[in-house]
Chain A
Amino acid sequence: MINQQYRLDDSNCIDRSSPVTFYFDGKKLTGFRGDTLASALLANGVRLVGRSFKYHRRRGIYSAGLEEPNAFVTLRAGGRHEPNVPATNIELYDGLTAISQNCWPSLSFDLLGIIGLFSKFLPAGFYYKTFMGPTRKSWMLYEHFIRKAAGMGSAPDREDPDKYEKVFAFCDVLIVGAGPAGIMAALAAGRSGAQVILAEDDFELGGSLLSQTGDHISHWLSQAVTELESKSNIRIMKRTTVFGAYDSMTFGMVERVEEHQAKPAQYQPRQRYIEVNTKTAIIATGMIERPLVFGNNDLPGVMLASAARTYLNRYGVLPGKQVIAFANNNSIYGVALDLAKAGADVSVVDVRASIPDNIRLAVVNAGITLHLGKVVRTANGKNSVKSVDVVMFDDEASVSSGPVTRMLCDTLLLSGGWTPTLHLVSQRGYKPYYDEKYATLVAGKIPAGFYLAGGASMAYNLSHCLQTGIESARQAVTACGLSPASSDHKQAGVLVDDDIELDVKALWEVPNPANGKLKMKFIDLQNDVTVDDVNLAYREGYDSVELLKRYTTLGMSPDQGKTSNLNGLAILANNHNKPINEVGTTVFRPPYRSIPIGVLAGQATGLHFRPTRRSPFHVLHEKNRAVFTQTGLWLRPWYFPMPGEDCASASLREAESVRDNVGLVDISSLGKIDVQGPDVAEFLNRVYVNNWGSLQPGKGRYGVMLRMDGIVMDDGTTSRLTDDHYFMTTTTAGAGKVMSHLEYLLQVAWPELKVHVTSVTSQWAAMAIAGPNSRALLSKVVSDVDFNNDSFPFMGVVHGRIDEVPVRLMRVSFSGELAYEVYIPAGYGESVWRNIQDAGKDFDLTLYGTEALGILRIEKGHIAGPEIDGRTSLTDVGLGRMASNKKSFIGSALRQREGLVSSDRPTLVGLESIDGVKLRAGAILCEQGKHSGHGIGFISSVTYSPALKKHIALGFVSGGMQKNGQKIDAIFPLKNELSSVRVTSPHFYDPEGSRLHV
């Protein structure tokens, strides 16, 4: 175990009474509660944390927040393994395990580091121009190795044992970021009575205040947080990232509920996805410090200056003992002073030739060495930075020149200016623009309902931040129709202003010396994008910002270019020799940070991926050992196996029993629609292809609906119960679609029709009893119904009772046998099923599932989902003669269009296997021996027919029944199968219909 040799004696935010043990690459280390993984690693002197994405270069901790481009680790193991988590954003907990990424066999000895030697062969877009030969397929070979060598961790290969959930939240004011401006805005909005959500990515409130010292700051923060926590209308959400801004003031947030523990507490989700609907949003997301770009600027030990201040003041970690700070603005001096005070040997290299006198005085008094008008040209070192080469810099000519001074160091801090964090604004399509004064991208027009505060609004010093917090809250609560309370930041205690002007001197890259070239100058550390890559992209014509991004990958991946975006744009603009605003800026897209897929899925996994529908008989099916299949959202019995049976043998037995005796099947999933009103007959005439005017009460009729474009939409039966009351059934798959279609027509197309439709799918449990003994069985259990042919003919509908339960009975048949459908109020479904099953023992009643149902309907030539697939016309499915010529109906005009009446359209036929092999649904049908092109049709449904003792199919063939008796070929390329089939009538079994009319 390594001691925390870089830990200082005091700091505000870690709990020294709670030591924590953790493991990095298997090595046992210690930290404290309140640390991040990054701060604890630095405390232990761990500099090398990962290897880079492309060149496998050594990388260390670069920042202290979400902008981290380097220190990505894989957290935990097994099902809880999570790749690409920035160490700077991992809250330390006891037992935490993290491993470094993108190295083999180890972080310190990475054989893949050899790739760096071949970097000249791997420039931007290399995969478009190298590794392409010697043959056309060479890339396929290389790709495997290139993908293995590159990458950002690996996806977990085991099921995640933790749960995730989704929540909807609502508020008047969403405040993103709980730094000084966000806290002040929350106080002001909360005092006005607004419902406020204050979301903070960190596990502590305070933002940049946490990185500063001074009793006045901790006092102000403490007072403010106490007041926030006391207000019931303010919801404080720590560990919560607002990652996306969407339409209608909807924001996506992820709360890392139990992420700070190895295992979530019982019943708690690990993470929670929150969809927030707010009236207004205050973006108080602060600023991100920009790095400077020079040779070897990616060495471990090179770090943003603001990060060093955070590690020092918040976590009590000295980032280095011999520190050089390289900057182009005044913010570096606060860091330098803090580090010097903590005992570090500090030198500052400032691009600018002069700095304000008060700063110079303070710095010199602190023993800090100043190097003004100079730049760091190159960092030197292997595992971490050991020295830097410093030269004079001519600001006017932008030239670095003169003798090189090598300065020793163990840490190099960078401050290249500050960029406001405007991702959420940009996600709504509002691009920032470049402001010369601040040398950064600032917000231009912002979306309605959005307000900026703090650093996001370019407020840098504290008093300005607090004022923007108050002002943004005033505007937001006013927009919500509330009266702003009189607010002033001193209500929470006096906060002394640091009063610093940044005075940034833009420097996008340290220029190469006149007689040479610097080592690799990285712009985007996460994607290993260098200055040379951007220049190359420009030379090759990828000269717009959007093309540059895609060609070089600049700004992609988990860090989303948080530190690299502006430097990259500016270097591209330099290539163009145009101002940055003329070259343009890219749009940030959600998510702002990486989000586990698990949290987006929430509880929608397994059978809850979509809600599951179960029939009223479901429990009985389970007791009867049904094997279920999913049809849409429904769980339906597929087959009911006897011991030793598989699906094929069970379903064949079930189908034979129906043909020979009697079977019982659950058809509750059929769509059922109650249609009532004086104009129903007219309505049905308009939606169905056939005529409904003559249908008498007590009778039903088969009908087909077309879409507006003349394609078959759905089929089913509709029965007339009374003069104005009809009962429609649809297919299981078509139920929702038909219901919406009918509602649309009644509300939009024909509001004058007095018709109401109501889905009653769930009201009625439904079963079909089919087979020669179905009448005898039902006669035994149903009272008040005369089952003889005259009283209850085919397509008749009657009402009866089973026990005292009122039931609807329809004599219809999908199987081709004498059959009845029985509709029972759902709550009595189970009892009635039991009753019929008991009565059926005398008839050797067989339960059958959807597989047998399919066998029976294919034998009979009835169309179903595979034939009504959204491509077929009425004529295609052999029902063209059903269409009435005496009326208009939905689809009646467009079904006559040229393409739908073409004589060579494939139409429904039956197909018999000639060589006795199993046929395949989806097989392409071709003329014998002519296996090119698209063939002459396809097979839609297949089965082995127990009645015919052969493999049969339904399909569509050009020419249809004109090819009756012809042999054609069925080809199934996926299995490389070819079989010979004979075209026949689709009505394989009892074509006269004698069995269902008995």
Chain B
Amino acid sequence: MQPSLERTDPDRFRRLLALGTLLTISACAGVMSEDSRFAGPASIPGASRVGDVACESCHPAESAAFGQTAHARVSSNRLVDGERCESCHGEGSRHVQLQGRRDQIRRFGASTEPAAIEAPIAIVGYRDLEPFARSRASGFCLDCHSGAALFEWPASGHERAGLSCVDCHDPMRPATKLLRAPVTELCASCHSEIRAKLQLPSHHPVEEGRVRCVDCHDPHGSSIAALVRAPSSLELCLGCHSEKAGPFLFEHPPVTESCALCHEPHGTVSDFLTREPDPFLCLGCHAGHQGPLSPLTDVLLNASKRATFLSRCTACHSSIHGTDLASPSGHGRFTR
């Protein structure tokens, strides 16, 4: 099949125009609606603040753990000294009066329609959040955590999958970055098939502790797919494998596009993290050698060339990532 030679799609601008119009309408509609994304915990009707000391009297373990977190050391408009618990959980006087009745703990972001409220609210909890409440909970965190590291969260795959900050971080847990588990275990708890790949014979040494998931992926968002921690996947790989960066006089085109065209970075059965073993990976794009090279070589090698040409292409094309040296024939065949 011949590839299309058209560089631009004639309908492209019409599609973009329609898209822009739709977004503009949505944005206007959004501006006119309530500011739901960054809403904090709802105020508890009829309740007032009681202070951290009152909370600690019934929740000593939680208070002790929280005291070792970064949140216990920060002062801000939201995290007020002496009232840190109620900064996120709402005013606690009714919760104290009711002696912590569990049926009056409302999940953060739960529907506020009267019919949906199961019981009078005494305090706000953050466990088992409803699907849409999860993104609102993230918005609550983003009110303070507004640095550049979180710029892309609203467009991230994790946010689109319905995850929120509290799925991975526990504000009450005295651990590095408030993580609920060590980072590799945390990622593997959802991406179990990726962890399986990391056990395969050829793999990046994540299980060995040499590389972490977050060295390559930014769970808080990225401008490209797979939460890659770089503006492009190629840049990510070349950050460590800079010897393959080039530019080379003789370039192997896929190397300048994406390493993932040939490599599965988590793990594979074949060597060098290649998606298929050599030579079948190469035969996916190249027709390879066919027919006799010359009458002489045909006579000499017909019996043995099968094994040769169906062994590893990279045994001969060893500089497959690119080279400045020409092959003996003068062409760039990556043989040196």
A and B assemble together: no
